[in-house]
Structure 1
Amino acid sequence: MTGFDLTALLAERGGERYELHARHLNHQLPRMLHTIGFDKVYERAQGAYFWDTDGQDYLDMLAGFGVMGLGRHHPVVRKALHDVLDAELPDLTRFDCQPLPGLLAEKLLSYAPHLDRVFFGNSGTEAVETALKFARYATGRGRILYCTHAFHGLTTGSLSVNGEDGFRDGFAPLLPDTALEMGDLDALERELKRGDVAAFVVEPIQGKGVHPTPPGFLRAAQELLHRHKALLIADEVQTGLGRTGDFFAYQHEDGVEPDLVCVAKALSGGYVPVGATLGKDWIFKKVYSSMDRVLVHSASFGANAQAMAAGLAVLSVMEDEQIVAGARHTGELLRSRLAALVDKYELLHDVRGRGLMIGIEFGRPTSLGLRGRWTMLQAARKGLFAQMVVVPLLQRHRILTQVSGDHLEVIKLIPPLIIGEREVDRFVEAFTAVMDDAHGSGGLMWDFGRTLVKQALQTR
């Protein structure tokens, strides 16, 4: 028995959290949090809520960037992890076949019956890396197509299909790739005719800005790809597991059957890193074509018992608690109530999305007074108004949200899928109050806006 006491360590040193990050981790994170007033100290969490040191509750509309699909500390997932640890399984021997990976693969594939096999890694970007490698090997081609403004991860292969220059700058050379405008079938066909395209990777709903693919685009793209012997990769890392009101977001469009599907985030209930790449039998059999190639693609912690047990528990909860149907219903309620505000507020331009993946977009107002304030923000940095909304939602209303991407005037809502009408009411009331302030003459938000402008100009 060792003398390590986690509870005592946190009690003794937990108050140093921001200093420790500034000194030993990414020093810009605490700096950013201090600047926008997000430097909170949360003590505990349950479901869709956090509590701070004063006992105040905070509504989580971010879900850890979508990881906490079932909210925090779901009792069924928690029990499964205790059970798997207590079982003392001979995990990760690497020279046996444990039952849990096979059981989780079987269950996952039941939601995508046109697919046959699964590779388990540890994250969304690993799931994408796997899909890119498998597509290139199976087709014998090197080039990958993707959409402008896409986000597929930040490791080198995934970064090669990332549509945001801010993430790519300084990390070249990357894989051979070509970006297309989402929905541009003519551009897709032009690239495919060159004969060197392995695959087209696409988010059914782009996380950056929350932009769904146009109706019919995925089906038409799939037909073009298969005609030219290239593959369709659906990145469902954020959109999968019920987020959009179907188990996978590509299922909103009839007849779409991707060759490879990438899953991660919510699969383990937020407890254990896990990623999965689902694919067709022939692709896996090409990659693992002989016993010599049995480890040609593998991951040291892939398919570990804790991740597999958590995944099985998550899928069980989703069925037992009808999580997908709940996300569809609650998402439509939230989206429709927010959309009803568009005509009321001139700064509010659009509300879009599916299920519990919703984008709220702001834009240039028409009235002279607001237009001058808006122009001030835009001159300093696009995206500052959305940040101005996010801050009072947390500071005044204790609701955690996020700006949907750099230089975007969009807030993205990806709350735990377990929220209901009470949380919808709380968010809509808070958002309405923030919009009232933004459109009023008092200008508390605009005072903070001037602080953001100064910060933006200093970082240029």
Structure 2
Amino acid sequence: MTTAKSASSSSQAGEFDLGALLAERGAERYELHTRHLNHQLPRMLHTIGFDKVYERAEGAYFWDADGNDYLDMLAGFGVMGLGRHHPVVRKALHDVLDASLADLTRFDCQPLPGLLAEKLLAHSPHLDRVFFGNSGTEAVETALKFARRATGKPRILYCDHAFHGLTTGSLSVNGEDGFRDGFAPLLPDTGVPLGDLDALARELKKGDVAALIVEPIQGKGVHEAPPGHLRAAQELLHKHKALLIADEVQTGLGRTGDFYAYQHEEGVEPDLVCVAKALSGGYVPVGATLGKDWIFKKVYSSIDRVLVHSASFGSNAQAMAAGLAVLSVMENEQIVAGARATGEQLKSRLSALIDKYELLADVRGRGLMIGIEFGRPKSLKLRSRWSMLQAARKGLFAQMVVVPLLRRHRILTQVSGDHLEVIKLIPPLTVGEREVDRFVDAFTDVMDDAHSGSGLMWDFGKTLVKQAMANR
């Protein structure tokens, strides 16, 4: 193994050579993570057999050193909306670097942020202004601050099982206790069930609520707000002089078959909208908070408050160029319509399997954001195996499906949340019929194996049970 000292010596002999560094040290990737980063990540990947070595990627595929292709149905948790290394986005980044712009002087107004804001706002004509940060959680933090400043009220409502980020503010509106444990005290907040207008009304009557933040389709479990709920919640919030914040970090930019997921319901016009992930093109982190003019004017109320909310790398040229390129590709390649059509095809083909497999309970979602839920089987043999897994840890069966999808069929998916028997599919929006066929064929094979009551899948389930019991 090449040592760090020898790699350092070779770099001192000439200019920095990234290719040479990766060639020398790339094989140490898992060891380096174990030693210097989150040591539990390589341990987890090794346990479930996900400790692969991917050499390159393009579009919706990875390739390993042996030339095997892997279908990506995860898209980097939604970041790779256009797939990996889209040529238009790559060219835009090369162009902006070659332009040698006077970027981030902090005391001028560059054109790219204004142009990207203009493009984004065209998809939400009821909104007026944009703040650019560096991530989805920053977009949420901005919305929380802006809502409190605009209303003069302290409390933010969120929905049970919501996920809005992991910084302290966004964690305060995170509906999963597993993420919150050990990080209290957080901001004043209250969780309400998704779709429960009575619970929302009770909290609003207390008079201290600044806003409700909601994912139109929750990432954890892929649960959609009931029909008409967002419109009714908006009216209720405005009656009590509170704001509606739509977190579109994962659902926005075409993911659900419309540009924003809230647009599936007529008449919904959030006061603040958070976007990020896919706006980056998979290259440069970027987040954006869109809002109404009066809200921004409350925050930036005087010249003295011009920097009251800012970000050192916000609006940087590379991020803005990536965002502009992404929106151009979405328009020119009709990405939203494609995601809607492909998503309907995938969802309908998976839904047709529900009557065939007793372990398959539900298929839901919109566009290319689909949740596959598993449930308690009826037959005695399968029911006893299911109960064994549930007793150890809820979510193990979904993990048993994810693992053979990767190991046997080279398809990358994820369990949709802690203790959930749900797989979430959020592939690049560029996938088509070929990828639908490959996934459905592979999923059918895994389901056949599970319902046979024997085989490697259930043997692996025993391994997961042992691991779950050991971690208690």
TM-score, structure 2 length as denominator?
0.97
Structure 1 position 425 matched with structure 2 position 440: no
Cα distance in structure 1, aligned partners of 2:65 and 2:372: 31
Structure 1 position 67 matched with structure 2 position 90: no
Aligned to 2:471: 459
2:168–2:186 Cα contact (<8 Å) kept:
yes
Structure 2's unaligned 5+ residue stretches are: 1-11
Corresponding residue SS for 1:91: coil
User: Counterparts of 1:231-380 in structure 2 under 5 Å?
Assistant: 231-380=243-392
| Counterpart code for 1:311 | G
| Counterpart code for 1:215 | P
CA apart distance, 1:444:
1.4
Aligned to 1:42: 54
CA apart distance, 1:124:
0.3
Aligned to 1:169: 181
Aligned to 1:31: 43
Cα distance in structure 1, aligned partners of 2:369 and 2:36: 34
2:116–2:324 Cα contact (<8 Å) kept:
yes
| Counterpart code for 2:434 | R
- Render the CA deviation track for 1:372-412: whole Å, top value 9, x for unaligned: 10011001000000000000000000000000000000000
Cα distance in structure 2, aligned partners of 1:170 and 1:435: 38
2:364–2:372 Cα contact (<8 Å) kept:
yes
| Counterpart code for 1:116 | D
Cα distance in structure 2, aligned partners of 1:336 and 1:232: 32
User: Counterparts of 1:187-266 in structure 2 under 5 Å?
Assistant: 187-266=199-278
Corresponding residue SS for 2:370: strand
Alignment partner of 2:408 out of 392, 396, 404: 396
Aligned to 1:385: 397
Cα distance in structure 2, aligned partners of 1:177 and 1:32: 32
Cα distance in structure 2, aligned partners of 1:212 and 1:194: 27
CA apart distance, 1:173:
0.5
Cα distance in structure 2, aligned partners of 1:220 and 1:421: 37
Alignment partner of 1:116 out of 128, 132, 135: 128
Aligned to 1:51: 63
Corresponding residue SS for 2:363: strand
CA apart distance, 1:459:
0.6
Cα distance in structure 2, aligned partners of 1:101 and 1:374: 52
Cα distance in structure 2, aligned partners of 1:128 and 1:61: 25
Cα distance in structure 2, aligned partners of 1:274 and 1:65: 15
Cα distance in structure 1, aligned partners of 2:421 and 2:454: 22
- Render the CA deviation track for 1:348-378: whole Å, top value 9, x for unaligned: 0000000000000001000000001001100
Cα distance in structure 1, aligned partners of 2:195 and 2:54: 42
Corresponding residue SS for 1:51: strand
Corresponding residue SS for 2:246: strand
Structure 1's unaligned 5+ residue stretches are: none
Cα distance in structure 2, aligned partners of 1:225 and 1:372: 47
Cα distance in structure 2, aligned partners of 1:81 and 1:435: 43
Aligned to 2:27: 15
Cα distance in structure 2, aligned partners of 1:443 and 1:408: 23
Cα distance in structure 2, aligned partners of 1:17 and 1:30: 10
| Counterpart code for 1:249 | A
Alignment partner of 2:191 out of 158, 169, 179: 179
- Render the CA deviation track for 1:242-279: whole Å, top value 9, x for unaligned: 00000000000000000000000000111000000000
Cα distance in structure 2, aligned partners of 1:183 and 1:42: 41
Cα distance in structure 2, aligned partners of 1:303 and 1:441: 55
Aligned to 1:97: 109
2:382–2:453 Cα contact (<8 Å) kept:
no
| Counterpart code for 2:312 | S
CA apart distance, 1:442:
3.0
Q: Which moved more, 1:114-123 or 1:435-444?
A: 435-444
Aligned to 2:9: none
Cα distance in structure 2, aligned partners of 1:147 and 1:45: 36
Cα distance in structure 1, aligned partners of 2:204 and 2:388: 44
Identity of aligned residues (%): 88
Structure 1 position 86 matched with structure 2 position 98: yes
**Structure 1 segments (4+ residues) deviating >3 Å:** none
Cα distance in structure 2, aligned partners of 1:443 and 1:368: 18
Cα distance in structure 2, aligned partners of 1:36 and 1:388: 9
2:381–2:453 Cα contact (<8 Å) kept:
no
Aligned to 2:5: none
CA apart distance, 1:3:
1.7
Corresponding residue SS for 2:149: helix
| Counterpart code for 1:451 | T
Report the aligned-residue RMSD: 0.7
Corresponding residue SS for 1:94: coil
Corresponding residue SS for 2:424: strand
